[in-house]
Amino acid sequence: MAAFFAELLFDLVRILVGDWLRQATVTVCAWLDTKIHGRGARLVVGGLLGLAAYFLVPVIAGLLGF
């Protein structure tokens, strides 16, 4: 019974943290969109963010157990 509740609690925490990370990402991207002017700068910043996401998303997903 304790393992069942532990599993439910772990799933709840994983969902909440994942939702919080998603909201934080959208907020930061919306803020960053207003700060960058010019197509070239947006391409460079987008490429760097994409490269960072390529390496960080699997690490974060592994830590959260996705």
Rounded Cα gap, residues 59 and 65, in angstroms: 10
pLDDT in tens, the chain (66 residues): 888 888 888 888 888 888 888 899 889 888 988 888 889 998 998 899 889 989 888 888 888 777
pTM greater than the 0.75 cutoff: no
Q: Which long-range contacts (CB under 8 A, 24 or more apart) does 22-25 make?
A: none
Domain limits of the chain?
Answer: 1-64
